[in-house]
Amino acid sequence: MRLCAATADSLPPSVARGDYDREGPAIGIVHFGIGAFHRAHQAWYTDQALSAGECDWLICGVSLRSRSVAEQLNPQDGLYTLTERSGDEASTRLIGSVREVLFAPDHSAQIVARIADPACHIVSFTVTEKGYARGEGERLDLQRARASFYPLLARSLAMRRDAGLPGVTLLPCDNLANNGKVLGELMRQWLAAEDPLLGEWFSRECRVPSSMIDRIVPRTGTDDLDLLHSRIGMEDAGAVFTERFSQWVIEDDFAGPRPAWERHGAQLVGDVAPYETAKLRMLNGAHSLLAYCGLRAGNEFVHEAIADPDLRRLTDRLMREEALPTIDAAAGQDLNDYADDLIARFADPALRHRLAQIAMDGTQKLPQRWLDTALSLQQRGMEFAAIRSGFEAWLWHIDDGRFVDDPLGEELRRLMKLGGPDQVVAKCLDSDASSQALWPHYRSLLPALRQAHFNR
Ligand code: CS2
């Protein structure tokens, strides 16, 4: 038996669920990038809002590149379970907020119609760092943008404008610094190139608040699905597994209505920056450090890497001595407590979070996770030994070639073979050595990061 609307009543009573109509209410949210992260986070908050009696906030999930989530969820009428794990405990909830999943190459007209519908107020995103098609110097890479969400979104916005409808809120939920400002700017660049008048309408009518979302969601494995099957007595191909912890901090700047997510734990604030900076530099910074150093040391999971005393010391150093002094905490935000909590979250063996999942896409992740911290420390005349160790471990991976899954992986490996780590560091940072330096903004870190290699 497989989970779907007709079989959901046969789930055991231990599976928690809300009680709301999923047929009548409208789709109020279109979400690009409906992977496990969204299903374990925003869709879970929205499920709670719907369970509390809010209406018209069902979600249309969009996949840009793969049919797999559509194939998992559509035969299940969008239903799936979310299991929270901690130590030996697991609790499962049925999530009903996702109404349908559309695969962009097959269903572009439907996606455009969903966003152009008067009931849609929010378009949200977890498309990963690379999905925003940022090129050198944070400019939109128009060619890559064409294969992403930009054309679909522009077509929908034009329909809304022509129909005299109000604008929408674009809500980015990816791990980028200032994600609202960045997405707003990239969208404006797309429209400036394609339809400048629509660009003016967009700036006037739409809003792009920043948001920081935090929940560790390891990729679901077949062993997870088998175990769940035996617990709930039916197959759920769309199940997600996560930790108990969850945080969502959202800038309170919406173009129109939104679910009252704050009643279910989300924080609506004037400025997301202190939370976002702490999360990127401490949680994600430590994650990437554990990933590159841990994989090199032969570990497979985060909880194994953090149990190694040397890596634990290095992680502490990165969070408390390097990242922490660069963050302007908000009132009531205790960054030392945050570091303690992070170590405990990383150490939970129940999560089975693979280091290789974190290690992917380093070229897209390292600026906001390490380089912003390093730059800020350098400006204060302070050292950043842990970040240098991490950078050196990242270079080792490019050299080794085994674990680097990155849009620029092949090019970096070719440079590594040709001219060694120096060529790779130059390609990344040195705008004199390469007119296409990836991160020219961080050029002043060049001597320190070269040294990271020579200290090997
Ligand atoms: C991780 C994040 O895969 C990664 O790079 O660092 O996905 C991390 O688990 C989330 O940001 C936690 O909220």
Atom of ligand 1 nearest to the CA of 287: 6
Which contiguous run of DSSP H or E holds residue 80? strand 80-86
CATH topology of domain 8-269: Rossmann fold (3.40.50)
C-alpha distances in Å from residue 441, one per residue of 50, 367, 368, 444: 44, 9, 12, 8
Q: Which residues sit with their C-beta closer than 6 Å to ligand 1?
A: 175, 214-216, 284, 287, 357-358, 365
Cα–ligand 1 centroid distance for 222 (angstroms): 21
Least confident of 71-80, 94-103, 300-309, 407-416: 407-416
- CATH code 3.90.100.10 for 273-449: no
Q: Pull the structure tokens for residue 43.
A: 């869709």
Mean pLDDT, all residues of the chain: 96
For residue 225, the model assigns a pLDDT of 98
Confidence of residue 402 (pLDDT cuts 50, 70, 90): confident
CA nearest to 408, candidates 366, 450, 453, 375: 366
**Above pLDDT 70, what percent of the chain?**
99
Phi/psi of residue 156, each to 5°? -65, -40
Q: Pull the structure tokens for residue 452.
A: 């990271």
Q: What is the distance between the alpha carbons of residues 301 and 349, in angstroms, rounded to a whole number?
A: 9
Contact 229, 235 (CB under 8 A): yes
Contact 257, 152 (CB under 8 A): no
Cα–ligand 1 centroid distance for 408 (angstroms): 20
User: Is pLDDT at 456 greater than 60 in this prediction?
Assistant: no
Orientation angle between helical segments 179-194 and 150-162, nearest 10 degrees: 70
Which contiguous run of DSSP H or E holds residue 394? helix 385-400
Instruction: Identify the residue with better confidence: 243 or 451.
Output: 243
Q: Pull the structure tokens for residue 139.
A: 């400019």
Phi/psi of residue 174, each to 5°? -95, 165
Least confident of 217-231, 381-395, 438-452: 438-452
Contact 412, 401 (CB under 8 A): no
Least confident of 74-78, 133-137, 233-237: 133-137
Residue to probe by mutation, ligand 1, list 37, 246, 247, 287, most atoms within 8 Å of CB? 287
Cα–ligand 1 centroid distance for 348 (angstroms): 15
What is the largest distance, in Å, between two alpha-carbon atoms of the chain?
65
pLDDT tens-digit readout, 357-380:
999 999 999 999 999 999 999 999
**Region 98-118 average pLDDT:** 98
pLDDT tens-digit readout, 186-205:
999 999 999 999 999 999 99
| CA-proximal residue: ligand 1, atom 3 (nearest) | 358
Q: What is the pTM of this model?
A: 0.96
Atom of ligand 1 nearest to the CA of 353: 9
CA end-to-end distance (rounded Å), the chain: 55
Atom of ligand 1 nearest to the CA of 361: 5
pLDDT tens-digit readout, 245-298:
999 999 999 999 999 999 999 999 999 999 999 999 999 999 999 999 999 999
Cα–ligand 1 centroid distance for 204 (angstroms): 33
Domain residue spans of the chain:
8-269, 273-449
Cα–ligand 1 centroid distance for 283 (angstroms): 8
Phi/psi of residue 7, each to 5°? -105, -10
Residue whose structure tokens are 């609202």:
180
Cα–ligand 1 centroid distance for 74 (angstroms): 26
Confidence of residue 211 (pLDDT cuts 50, 70, 90): very high
Residue whose structure tokens are 């572009």:
108
| CA-proximal residue: ligand 1, atom 8 (nearest) | 216
Contact 326, 280 (CB under 8 A): no
For residue 455, the model assigns a pLDDT of 64
Q: What is the distance between the alpha carbons of residues 441 and 135, in angstroms, rounded to a whole number?
A: 13
User: Is pLDDT at 215 greater than 60 in this prediction?
Assistant: yes
Cα–ligand 1 centroid distance for 262 (angstroms): 22
CB atoms within 10 A of CB 83: 21
